[in-house]
């Protein structure tokens, strides 16, 4: 039986929801080729991932998408990969890897809106995160979304699959996780959950403080497929919003959001802003970006400042770029929750990340990837 929400939280949640509403065994036998004749690397199935025959799309010599199935998720899911231009011409070289986690209700194709992700200094991997996956293994696995173990898919399957198939530098000092909006939560959450995997993390306009009723309300809005202005400024790089998919129970992902008798224990356990979780970032290079000039980024700015101040209190290094109305970041940025700002933020971040990779920043653990 669900406990009733306390009056103060009821009022805050109603307001916030309203704001949100406004607001390895098989290979590809015949890989496709782009018009220029380039074919993507042949990847071998494994780690629970099976490639769908005919599901590969080649966008260019350095940009392709595979489609996979996995026991962790219902349906088929895309993984887009950007290779550095020297990947084929330097066959003995291994590369750092950056994972980009899209927002909701986005897709791996959203990465096309961020030119800086097409870096000649690293491999960039963009896995599907679902329209409202929230980069979590869902509490409920029998909703209209079906099987939904997004964290396991990414961390236990996609990461080792990439290291096995591509020439990666498979250590934390040369692996980054980045994301925006919903993906900003995912990036910081993954860096905290697996500090052995990621030496670098960046969250852009992220819902990274689950102690805020407004951020919890944003999650609920996606579960209940509440659109409105939140959908109008969705993270889809196409500028369109198809909604968050079928309605699921409000407790489906993280359980009850109500802070009564520890009913919200899962929310607290995965909260990126919780000091006990932030302490796990002691050896991680953390960067936060946010605007503060629309309804959504007003709250992501508060969340980002909370994380920064708590990391400071813990004596942990981090970098916060709070660009306000966007004027200090780019003429294309209005300080809102959109790719005009995020593309500019990545243009600032990627060269810094490249320098960190080249310096071997972070504590190195792991081995070189074994891919061809």
What confidence tens digit (pLDDT) does each residue in 202-228 have?
999 999 999 999 999 999 999 998 864
* Cβ atoms of residues 111 and 126 within 8 Å: yes
The yes-or-no verdict on residue 100 having pLDDT over 90 is yes
> CA 64, CA 58: separation in Å to the nearest integer?
4
**Helix intervals (H) in 181-323:** 182-193, 213-223, 229-232, 265-270, 275-278, 295-313
| Neighbour count for residue 281 (Cβ, 10 Å) | 22
What pLDDT sits at residue 307?
98
Ranges of each domain in the chain? 7-359
Q: What is the pLDDT of residues 339-351, one digit of tens each?
A: 999 999 999 999 9
Q: What class is the 7-359 domain? A: alpha beta
149-165: per-residue pLDDT in tens?
999 999 999 999 999 99
- The pLDDT tens digits of the residues spanning 11-54 come to 454 444 434 433 322 223 334 555 555 789 999 999 999 999 99
CB 297 within 8 A of CB 291: yes
Confidence of residue 229 (pLDDT cuts 50, 70, 90): very low
Q: What is the pTM of this model?
A: 0.88
Q: DSSP characters for 147-169?
A: -BBHHHIIIIIIHHHHHHHS-B-
Task: Give which of 52, 356, 342, 9 is closest to 206, Cα–Cα.
Answer: 342
Q: What is the pLDDT of residues 297-338, one digit of tens each?
A: 999 999 999 999 999 999 999 999 999 999 999 999 999 999
The answer for 102, left when phi > 0, alpha when psi is -120 to 50, beta otherwise, is beta
Q: What is the dihedral of CA 150, 154, 155, 161, to 10 degrees?
A: 140
Q: What is the pLDDT of residues 240-267, one digit of tens each?
A: 556 898 999 999 999 999 999 999 999 9
Four-CA torsion 55, 84, 27, 160, nearest 10 degrees: -100
In this structure, the number of other CB atoms found within 10 A of the CB of residue 46 comes to 15
Report residue 321: phi and psi, to 5°. -110, 100
Which phi and psi (to 5°) does residue 117 adopt? -70, -15
- What local confidence, expressed as pLDDT, does residue 235 receive? 53
């Amino acid at each position: 039986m669900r406990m009733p929400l306390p009056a103060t939280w009821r009022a805050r949640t109603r307001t916030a929801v309203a704001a949100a509403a406004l607001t390895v065994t098989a290979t590809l036998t015949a890989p496709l080729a782009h018009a220029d004749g380039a074919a993507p690397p042949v990847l071998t199935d494994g780690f629970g991932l099976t490639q769908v025959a005919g599901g590969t799309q080649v966008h260019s010599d350095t940009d392709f998408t595979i489609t996979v199935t996995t026991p962790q998720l219902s349906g088929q899911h895309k993984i887009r990969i950007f290779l550095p231009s020297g990947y084929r011409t330097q066959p003995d070289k291994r590369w750092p890897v950056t994972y980009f986690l899209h927002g909701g209700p986005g897709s791996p194709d959203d990465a096309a809106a961020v030119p800086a992700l097409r870096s000649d200094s690293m491999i960039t991997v963009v896995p599907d995160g679902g329209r409202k996956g929230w980069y979590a293994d869902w509490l409920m696995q029998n909703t209209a979304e079906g099987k939904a173990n997004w964290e396991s898919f990414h961390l236990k399957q996609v990461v080792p699959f990439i290291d096995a198939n591509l020439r990666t530098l498979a250590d934390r000092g040369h692996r980054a996780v980045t994301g925006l909006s919903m993906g900003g939560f995912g990036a910081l959450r993954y860096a905290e959950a697996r500090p052995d995997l990621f030496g670098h993390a960046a969250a852009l306009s992220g819902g990274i403080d689950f102690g805020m009723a407004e951020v919890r309300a944003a999650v609920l809005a996606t579960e209940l497929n509440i659109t409105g202005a939140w959908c109008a400024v969705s993270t889809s790089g196409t500028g369109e919003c198809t909604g968050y998919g079928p309605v699921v129970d409000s407790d489906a992902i993280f359980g009850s959001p109500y802070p009564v008798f520890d009913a919200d224990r899962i929310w607290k356990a995965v909260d990126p802003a919780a000091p006990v979780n932030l302490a796990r970032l002691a050896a991680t290079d953390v960067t936060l970006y946010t605007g503060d000039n629309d309804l959504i980024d007003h709250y992501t700015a508060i969340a980002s400042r909370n994380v920064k101040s708590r990391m400071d209190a813990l004596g942990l290094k981090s970098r916060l770029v709070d660009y306000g109305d966007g004027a200090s970041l780019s003429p294309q940025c209005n300080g809102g929750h959109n790719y005009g700002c995020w593309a500019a933020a990545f243009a600032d971040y990627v060269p810094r990340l490249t320098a960190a990779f080249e310096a071997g920043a972070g504590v190195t653990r792991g081995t070189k990837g074994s891919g061809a």
